[in-house]
Amino acid sequence: EVQLVESGGGLVLPGGSLRLSCAASGFTFSSYEMNWVRQAPGKGLEWISYISRYGSTIYYADSVRGRFTISRDNAENSLYLQMNSLGAEDTAIYYCARDSLSWELDYWGQGTLVTVSS
């Protein structure tokens, strides 16, 4: 069974940093591209980052480029999101999601909540 479990969310001060993790199981992690998608409270979904199977290709949404860094460790079956210079607009549930072989997001984690507030 495919499972994606995010962790690392919490309350952080404006300007602060946080590192999210996503533990993958039930599939060959290194064979799939991965993404982060976020959802602000009561709002819609926003794709924020993508990483290819071995990390050679990375994309970011404009809203996070230069502040967030996506990475992965295939030996640990884990995906990461380093978030710096956080602002109130980054308050959201952060989901990791797997790219299917035909590019849609076929499996999602349950999400981890990040709250940026003083």
Partner 1 sequence: EIVMTQSPVTLSVSPGERATLSCRASQSLSSNLAWYQQKPGQAPSLLIHDASTRATGIPARFSGSGSGTEFTLTISSLQSEDFAVYYCQQYNNWPRTFGQGTKVEIK
Rounded CA Rg of the chain = 13
Binding to partner 1 by residue 5, rule CB under 8 A? no
Report the 10 Å Cβ neighbour count for 37. 21
| Dihedral sign for Cα atoms in the order 46, 52, 53, 54 | negative
Binding to partner 1 by residue 106, rule CB under 8 A? yes
Binding to partner 1 by residue 46, rule CB under 8 A? yes
Binding to partner 1 by residue 66, rule CB under 8 A? no
* Token digits of residue 13: 């001060």
The site for partner 1, by CB under 8 A, has a size of 23
Residues in contact with partner 1 by CB under 8 A are 35, 37, 44-47, 50, 59-62, 95, 100, 102-111
